Amino acid sequence: MSIDDLLRLFGTKKSSLIGAGAEAQVFALNAQTVLRVSRQGSQKADVLARIHLLSKMALGAKEVRFEIPSVKDFGFKFGFHYTVENRLSGYPLSDALQQEAGMKRVNLVNDYLETSLQLHKLLIGETMFGEVGLGDPIRSLDLKDFLRRRAQKSLGVRRLSVDLDSFLDAIKESKQPQLVHLDYCPSNVMCSEGKIVGVLDFGGTTIAGGSAFNPIVATAFLDPAITPVATEHDHLQATDWLATLGPSDGNLAMKKWLAAYWSFCGKDEDIPLFKWCRRILSA
């Protein structure tokens, strides 16, 4: 059994690949739908948790101005979990950043940043903080308890010793758990005609947390050390924009938590991101 068997069943082949990440590969079926194939060995519980998350987000999707994935069908064949989903319009922001310049680029980057402020609207009525797209999630009634436990799990992957108390205290408590997309990056954002039109890859890196994390994530992913298609000017624009949102007392603390969380990337030898994590944690 191979992925070719599954693709053949759906009338497509490997050349229709339009995206790939740590969790899955995505193949175009037609102009309206895609086939998302989870990596071999993926857990059924994680696949079902993501499907449930997207179903819950459908109500919140009415409150934002961009598209998100929705699942039309799912199953398990030839050793692979799969979902059939709607195909979002536009093309990846990461591609656009390789082409656009001048004010068109500035405006596009700004829309990417502003769109991050809408992400929290996608999860309505959540009562617990924690992971919302995994089958065996870390959850808590207390935000900082969750942040601590999740950071410890990531740091344990590379056996890093970090004084979490040195920055967790500076993170503001949140009364209402809200959606945070910890992988809101240019490759997971679709754009068209200078505007963000879709956001992808909700799942394992989606949490119910404090909404203030979303602009921190968006800004961090415009650091060229993480996203090579971004420029220093893009990053400066992002940090200046972040400063306009209000007092920055907790921004560095949230950034350090992100570095602790993302440190699990060292397991997969994502060297640029792991180097960024080490740099931020030592700052």
Confidence of residue 14 (pLDDT cuts 50, 70, 90): very high
Q: Work out the pLDDT band at 271, boundaries 50, 70, 90.
A: confident
Span 169-174, mean pLDDT?
92
What mean pLDDT do residues 257-282 have? 90
Determine the Cα–Cα distance for residues 107 and 227; give it in Å rounded to an integer: 18
Instruction: Give the DSSP letter of residue 31.
Output: S
Helices (H) and strands (E) in the chain, counts: 10, 12
Give the mean model confidence (pLDDT) for residues 19-37.
95
| Cβ-based neighbours of 18, under 8 Å, separated by 6 or more | 26, 27, 28, 34
Q: What pLDDT shows up at residue 50?
A: 98
In order, the DSSP letters of 235-268 are: HHHHHHHHHTTS--TTHHHHHHHHHHHHGGGGGG
Q: Which amino acid type is present at position 90?
A: G
